[in-house]
């Protein structure tokens, strides 16, 4: 699933090393438009609902934190 998330991230921004980057939001690599697009892609790919409470930098700073978010939301269903 991590590779699928990285593929989605690359569709948003290709020029980032998602295997090592841990501050996508905190370092301003992703802006709000990138996050909106990413949320939409994640919802479609994994059939999850990402609520407003989930839109925190901690959930979107790295591919692994996004994976944890997706897994948590899938388990909640």
Full-model pTM = 0.95
Rounded Cα distance, 77 and 72, in Å? 9
28-69 pLDDT, tens per residue?
999 999 999 999 999 999 999 999 999 999 999 999 999 999
CATH number at residue 33: 1.10.1200.10
Domain count, the chain: 1
What domain range is 26 assigned to? Answer: 2-76
């Amino acid at each position: 699933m991590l590779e699928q998330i990285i593929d989605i991230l690359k569709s948003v921004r290709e020029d980032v090393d998602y295997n090592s980057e841990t501050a996508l939001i905190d370092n301003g690599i992703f802006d709000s438009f990138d996050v909106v697009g990413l949320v939409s892609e994640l919802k479609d790919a994994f059939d999850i609902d990402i609520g407003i409470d989930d839109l925190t930098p901690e959930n979107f700073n790295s591919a692994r934190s996004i994976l944890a978010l997706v897994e948590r939301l899938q388990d909640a269903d």
